[in-house]
């Protein structure tokens, strides 16, 4: 499904959702004739190994080598989110990803919101261990006044006569908890991009590549504001996107390296020609032995500790991100029920963005490793007291982006709610009932939430100032509450029960 885009031929937005069925069987490893640079893009890579048969760093390493042997010049870029979240990252704090990327041959990275999950000190340690270049224009280390960990705001490299400038951007802080951002200052992406673009234009580059971990809407704004950008290599969304906005190609490659976006660049008659194709990373691509050895070492260390079975599920558990982030989910009910059982609270609210795995877990035994893959962040269960009106405000915030799939969408326990998705955001909640009784806006309820929400994560700023009964310093890890709940029941069978009823 390749297509060629010339800057003079760009008009209306062309959005292409690269569905797996549409690219099944494609290899698309043949680089366009005359390409001076071939970008191999990945983003949001949480696993060293394949997920559902697709992905795996050892295969990506082989792909880079194959492109190089064909006479092209490959450059592997990652658009953020790799230190966390995964089972292995919970144990190794992202070191396994750095070691894998180092041997794989990653060239340039920007930071995503999950690079901050372990705090500044761990981030700086991981950056120091990296053999690749970081670019980030809108994060500043308060201790140095410069981008953290030796990163550059922007860099310039020349490939076969093509002079290319690269700069990086990430979400301005909403995607990570405040305590994890201590010691770092986040700048707004668009003004920071303006500084980077002006600097690169002054260096007379032929092409500008922005490596971003922003929402698609922010990438669109970036393209509209700065037509000098030839390509936005983006992340954050977990499904492939290719679009042309204004004079800029925007690419997102999905997640977990299931697909690599191959972008060929060539200067011709004063224009930058860009050709993009999706490469399916499947078993037809052999593992690079050196990368596979690193992967095997970490997988072996994990297995011994995490393979113990704690219980079972009688039904499949669907953790596919677009589903859990847009409607009531059986897995979301299980997690929220575990939170409420552990805390003893009347209500539990969980942001669906914390539910990971992005796959269907088959019915059968549940190991610690599986539970950690569903809840890998190390989030702590907190209990607060809030008036009913704050519960309504929280639900309205959670449903504000419907019908879009978004991590702020709430999974709940202890209440039911009707949602009018056609109403204006902030006014969508109808008929909230707690324990079967109408919610009283003035009554005080106990509410179980992750510490991430208590700190204002995913935009839940409304919990600030509420009375904290159990705080992060003494709360239980949510994954531990989940393990206790599963073990206590022996076998669970969560279902969609009508807790959240959305009217279109």
CATH number at residue 203: 3.60.21.10
pTM of the model: 0.75
* Predicted pLDDT at 78: 98
Q: Within this chain, do residues 155 and 102 fall inside the same structural domain, yes or no? A: yes
Sheet bearing 410-413, strands edge to edge: 410-413, 347-351, 444-450, 381-387, 467-470
Q: Which domain holds residue 133?
A: 3-19+26-298
Please state, in angstroms and as integers, the Cα–Cα distance from residue 434 to each residue in 128, 428, 494, following that order.
50, 18, 19
* Predicted pLDDT at 345: 97
In this structure, are residues 211 and 110 in contact, taking their beta carbons and an 8 Å threshold?
A: yes
Please state, in angstroms and as integers, the Cα–Cα distance from residue 443 to each residue in 83, 439, 440, following that order.
42, 8, 5
Q: Within this chain, do residues 221 and 243 fall inside the same structural domain, yes or no? A: yes
Q: In this structure, what CATH number is given to the domain that contains residue 324? A: 3.90.780.10
* Predicted pLDDT at 139: 97
Q: Within this chain, do residues 334 and 464 fall inside the same structural domain, yes or no? A: yes
Give which of 100, 46, 45 is closest to 294, Cα–Cα: 100
Distance CA 169, CA 166 (A): 10
Q: Within this chain, do residues 289 and 324 fall inside the same structural domain, yes or no? A: no
* Predicted pLDDT at 28: 59
In this structure, are residues 484 and 338 in contact, taking their beta carbons and an 8 Å threshold?
A: yes
Distance CA 59, CA 41 (A): 14
Distance CA 393, CA 453 (A): 13
Task: Count up the domains in the chain and report the number.
Answer: 2
Q: Within this chain, do residues 208 and 236 fall inside the same structural domain, yes or no? A: yes
Q: Within this chain, do residues 287 and 194 fall inside the same structural domain, yes or no? A: yes
Last residue of a domain, one of 247, 281, 298: 298
* Predicted pLDDT at 308: 86
Last residue of a domain, one of 298, 329, 346: 298
Q: pLDDT in tens for each of the 504 residues of the chain?
A: 344 333 323 232 233 333 232 333 334 568 888 999 999 999 999 999 998 899 999 999 999 999 999 999 999 999 999 998 777 887 899 999 999 999 999 999 999 988 998 899 999 999 999 999 999 999 999 999 999 999 999 999 999 999 999 999 999 865 566 778 899 999 999 999 999 999 999 999 999 999 999 999 999 999 999 999 999 999 998 889 999 999 999 999 999 999 999 999 999 987 899 999 999 999 999 999 999 999 999 999 988 878 889 999 999 999 999 999 999 999 999 999 999 999 999 999 999 999 999 999 999 999 988 999 999 888 989 999 999 999 999 999 999 999 999 999 999 999 999 999 999 999 999 999 999 999 999 999 999 999 999 999 999 999 999 999 988 867 888 998 999 999 999 999 999 999 999 997
Last residue of a domain, one of 281, 298, 315: 298
Q: Within this chain, do residues 254 and 112 fall inside the same structural domain, yes or no? A: yes
145 CB-contact burial (10 Å; exposed 0-12 / middle 13-18 / buried 19+): exposed
Q: Within this chain, do residues 340 and 442 fall inside the same structural domain, yes or no? A: yes
Q: Within this chain, do residues 240 and 376 fall inside the same structural domain, yes or no? A: no
Q: Within this chain, do residues 333 and 198 fall inside the same structural domain, yes or no? A: no
Q: Which residues pair with 140 in a beta bridge?
A: 185
Phi and psi at 350, nearest 5°, equal -130, 130
Distance CA 359, CA 357 (A): 5
Q: Within this chain, do residues 225 and 335 fall inside the same structural domain, yes or no? A: no
Q: Within this chain, do residues 350 and 373 fall inside the same structural domain, yes or no? A: yes
Cα dihedral 200, 201, 203, 209 in deg (nearest 10): 40
């Amino acid at each position: 499904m390749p297509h060629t885009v010339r800057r003079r031929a760009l008009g209306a937005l062309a959005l292409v959702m690269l569905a797996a069925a549409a690219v099944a069987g494609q290899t698309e490893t043949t680089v366009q004739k005359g390409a001076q640079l071939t970008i191999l893009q990945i983003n949001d890579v949480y696993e060293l190994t394949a997920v559902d048969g697709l992905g795996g760093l050892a295969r990506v390493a082989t792909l880079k080598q194959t492109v190089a042997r064909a006479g092209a010049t490959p450059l592997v870029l990652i658009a953020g989110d790799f230190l966390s979240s995964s089972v292995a990252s919970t144990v190794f704090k992202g070191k396994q990803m750095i070691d894998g990327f180092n041997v794989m041959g990653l060239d340039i990275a920007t930071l995503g919101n999950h690079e901050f999950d372990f705090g500044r000190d761990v981030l700086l340690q991981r950056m120091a261990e990296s053999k690749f270049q970081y670019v980030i224009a809108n994060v500043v280390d308060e201790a140095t006044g410069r981008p953290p960990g030796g990163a550059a705001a922007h860099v310039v490299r020349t490939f076969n006569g093509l002079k290319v400038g690269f700069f990086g951007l990430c979400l301005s802080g909403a995607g990570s908890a405040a305590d994890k951002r201590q010691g770092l200052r986040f700048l707004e992406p668009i003004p920071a991009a303006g500084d980077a673009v002006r600097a690169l234009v002054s260096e007379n580059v032929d092409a500008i590549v922005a490596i971003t971990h922003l929402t698609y809407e922010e990438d669109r704004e970036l393209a509209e504001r700065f037509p000098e950008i030839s390509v936005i290599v983006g992340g954050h969304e977990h499904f492939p996107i290719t679009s042309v906005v204004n004079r800029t190609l925007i690419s997102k490659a999905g997640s977990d390296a299931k697909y690599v976006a191959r972008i060929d660049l060539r200067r011709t008659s004063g224009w930058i020609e860009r050709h993009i194709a999706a490469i399916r990373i499947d078993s037809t691509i052999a593992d690079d032995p050196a990368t596979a050895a690193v992967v095997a070492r970490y997988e072996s260390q994990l297995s011994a500790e995490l393979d113990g079975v704690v219980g079972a599920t009688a039904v499949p558990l669907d953790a596919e991100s677009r589903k859990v982030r847009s409607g009531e989910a059986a897995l979301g009910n299980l997690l929220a029920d575990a939170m409420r059982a552990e805390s003893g609270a009347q209500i539990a609210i969980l942001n669906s963005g914390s539910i990971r795995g992005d796959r269907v877990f088959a019915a059968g035994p549940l190991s610690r490793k599986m539970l950690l893959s569903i809840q890998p962040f190390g989030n702590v269960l907190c209990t607060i007291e809030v008036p009913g009106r704050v519960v309504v405000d929280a639900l309205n915030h959670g449903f504000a982006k419907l019908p879009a799939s978004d991590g702020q969408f709430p999974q709940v326990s202890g209440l039911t709610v009707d949602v009018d998705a056609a109403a204006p955001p902030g006014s969508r909640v109808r008929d909230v009932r707690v324990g079967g009784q109408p919610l009283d806006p003035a009554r005080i309820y106990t509410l179980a939430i992750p510490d991430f929400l208590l700190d204002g994560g995913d935009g839940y700023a409304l919990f600030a100032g509420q009375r904290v009964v159990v705080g992060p310093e003494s709360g239980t890890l949510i994954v531990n509450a989940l393990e206790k709940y599963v073990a206590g029941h022996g076998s669970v069978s969560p279902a969609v029960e009508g807790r959240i009823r959305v009217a279109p």
